[in-house]
Structure 1
Amino acid sequence: MPSCPLKIAIFGNECQLHNERAIARVVQCLAQHKAEVYVDEPFLDYLRQSGNLPTYPLTPFTGNHFDAQLALSLGGDGTFLKAAGRIGQKQIPIVGINMGRLGFLADVPASKAEDALNDIFNGEYRIEEHVVMKVEAGNEPFGGNPFAVNDIAILKRDDASMITIGVRVDGERLITYQADGLIVATQAGSTAYNLSNGGPIVAPNTNALCLTAVAPHSLNVRPIVLPDNVELQLSVESRSHNYLVAIDGRSTKLVQGVDIHISKAPYVVKQVRRNNQTYFTTLRNKMMWGADSRNADMPNSHSEEG
């Protein structure tokens, strides 16, 4: 990192009843490094009400009106995704400090936040890039943010009946799903909603998308992995004549008859990783991947903390 004061933007969840002291330690660490700190205004108001903030200049910002060289996400994976959406094409690297529950994207434990920040200020880190998807559907603005880091889900709404989803890949027919929905997940999102529905885990730098049906009404439908540079066209039919599109959990109701187009966005999300933090370590520790009591006494079977 540069020797001049580092500009840092902080995003957070305003429901952190047991994390005020951990957040105060983060701010204190930034103060020790003489960083210029900017905080999302609703989160800053929440922190000031908690009364645990150290005395240090904190500048509020709203919307996308901020500039920084580094962003901190204080919360869980949902907070990280919201921060990524706010940052958008600014290409500001994000550090995910986990103050939520699972914390797969937010992979720095709150107890290790100061160590991680010290490493970053000393230049001991690496940048991992996440592919972003863009969704288009007629003139629907999707709340001004049609981009997804994790997944885009097409889901039934207002009816117990299934929906029909026809899929074309680069113009060629792939399949017509009869299901409760369809998940289009990036590599980063492969361990989220995709995994919960039986989709595959995709390792970093694989450049792939996963298509995974939600409760398909067929024994012959299985998830499929596609290159992440394809263009998808989805045609949806529903008995209720409408359905939901969830972009990283942000839901919008659409009316059938308008095709959905999904493609690779023109930018990536940059995430700061500690040099000693690996994907497979996180996969084992956070997701309990491969856990087997029969291996408890075998070498290298114990969990490692990132």
Structure 2
Amino acid sequence: MKSIFRQVALIGKYHTAVAPALAASTRAALEDIANFLASQGCEVHVERDTAAVIGLTGFPTADAAALGTHCDLGLVVGGDGTMLGIGRQLARFGVPLIGINQGRLGFITDIPLDQYRTVLPPMLAGEYEEDHRSLMHAHVVRDGQVVFDALAMNDVVVNRGATSGMVELRVEVDGHFVANQRADGLIVATPTGSTAYALSAGGPLLHPSTPGWVLVPIAPHTLSNRPIVLPDGVEVAIELVAGRDASANFDMQSLASLLHGDRITVRRSQHKVRFLHPRGWTYFDTLRKKMHWNEGAA
């Protein structure tokens, strides 16, 4: 089967302080995948930092913006964190992404590393399921000025400091006052993020096609403060009223320190992330495997 994707970006999981043995195994896996893609008629471009940190040579390299401009498919090798990072960067280019998981099954990197030679060829030939995931666009506003700007695929989280007490947060939806909440923090999560931090804080699961967000308080002082599902067309504003050393996290990959009076506004981004899955994939298959449902059933 011939690939319908001609220019393929290869993005790997890497750390600047990675152990030599791990770097070598990662490099070997990525080299194997790159050579396999070339055998399928694809021209492979490796993400620049991936190549530099793990020492992968022999293929052209480019940064994320160049990959988004020139490539028609992204192949992400790592875990969900790797996919979150590159997904935000490539969303504006509309490049579809396939995830190969190096460890445990991920929610959005769903092809096991040892199965890619079997799974990839039909997908490269056009036999796949396509899945679109919404993004949030968040700003931190201080004294009327935007001091931090970020996209999030999973969640925007306002947290208390590690050694401080609760924070007090004023919450508004589309300019309408909702409540002043005293808690350890507050999560605004997309359907993709509903299986991440929001789930551990007691939030519901949202199907990826649901056009909504979930607002989940973290250890609220008042137990009647419960998670609430909102349409994703609204603007959520969170103002830090009280609390020390508070911060706002975006997919737990970027961080903004907060001062009293800072407002975090969250809107739906105009961009979506495109995922490609093997033919026959469903979200419920992933839930069963990842959440260990039906284990021990006859």
Q: Tell me if TM exceeds 0.5.
A: yes
Counterpart among 11, 36, 43 of residue 43 in structure 2:
36
Deviation at 1:100, TM superposition (A): 3.4
- Structure 1 match to 2:152: 148
Query: How much has 1:12 moved relative to structure 2?
Result: 1.2
Report the Cα offset of residue 13 of structure 1.
1.3
* Aligned partner of 2:165 among 161, 164, 189: 161
In the TM superposition, what is the alpha-carbon distance from 1:258 to its structure 2 partner?
A: 2.2
Q: Any conservation in 1 of the 2:3–2:40 contact (CA below 8 Å)?
A: no
Matches of residues 265-276 of structure 1 in structure 2 within 5 Å?
265-276=269-280
1:58 corresponds in structure 2 to 59
1:156/1:238 contact within 8 Å kept: no
Is the contact between residue 48 and residue 63 of structure 2 (CA under 8 Å) also seen in structure 1?
Answer: yes
The aligned amino acid for 1:248 is D
> What does residue range 13-52 of structure 1 map to in structure 2 within 5 Å?
13-14=13-14, 15=18, 16-17=22-23, 18-48=25-55
5 Å matches for 1:193-208?
A: 193-208=197-212
Q: Does 1:263 align with 2:267?
A: yes
Q: Deviations over 1:133-167 (max 9, x none)?
A: 0111224453xx61001100001125421001111
Residue 217 of structure 2: aligned partner:
213
CA-CA distance at 1:172 after TM superposition: 1.5
CA positional deviation for 1:3: 6.3
Query: Equivalent residue for 1:302?
Result: none
Q: 2:89 — aligned with what?
A: 86
Query: For the residues of structure 2 that align with 1:218 and 1:140, how far apart are their CA atoms?
Result: 31
Identity of aligned residues (%): 32
CA distance in 1, matches of 2:55, 2:166: 48
TM-score relative to the length of structure 1: 0.86
- Tell me the equivalent position of 1:304: none
Q: Which residue of 1 aligns with 2:251?
A: 248
Distance 1:279 1:170 in 2: 31
Cα distance in 1 for partners of 2:286, 2:262 equals 40
Residue number among 136, 146, 149 corresponding to 1:133 in the alignment: 136
Matched residue SS, 1:146: strand
CA contact (8 A) 2:246 2:259 kept: yes
For each residue in 1:176-221, what CA deviation from the matched residue of structure 2 results, as whole angstroms up to 9, or x when unmatched? 2110100100001110111111111111211110111111112212
Alpha-carbon distance in 2 for matches of 1:62, 1:182: 34
CA distance in 2 between partners of 1:272 and 1:4 (Å): 13
Q: Does the CA contact (< 8 Å) of 1:25 and 1:114 recur in 2? A: no
Q: Which runs of 4+ in 1 moved over 3 A?
A: 1-5, 15-22, 46-49, 139-142, 290-293
Return the letter of the residue paired with 1:72: L
Structure 2 CA distance, aligned partners of 1:153 and 1:28?
A: 40
1:234 aligns with 2:264: no
Name stretches of at least 5 consecutive residues in structure 2 with no aligned partner: none
Deviation at 1:226, TM superposition (A): 0.8
SS in structure 2 opposite 1:233? strand
Match of 2:179 in 1: 175
Question: Residues 214-258 of structure 1: CA distance to partner in whole angstroms, max 9, x if unpaired?
Answer: 111122121111111111111112332x42110011211121212
Residue identity in the other structure for 1:7:
Q
**Partner residue, 1:100:** 103
**Preserved contact between residue 180 and residue 215 of structure 1 (Cα < 8 Å):** yes
| Count of matched residue positions in the alignment of Structure 1 and Structure 2 | 285
> 1:188 — aligned with what?
192
Find the aligned partners of 1:174 and 1:184 in 2 and give their Cα distance: 14
The CA distance in 1 between the partners of 2:217 and 2:112, in whole Å, is 33
Q: Distance in 1 between matches of 2:163 and 2:240?
A: 14
- Rounded to whole Å, the distance in 1 between the matches of 2:5 and 2:189 is 38
Q: Measure the CA separation in 1 of the matches of 2:151 and 2:161.
A: 22
Distance 1:279 1:176, change over 3 A: same
Give ranges in structure 1 of 5+ residues lacking alignment: 298-306
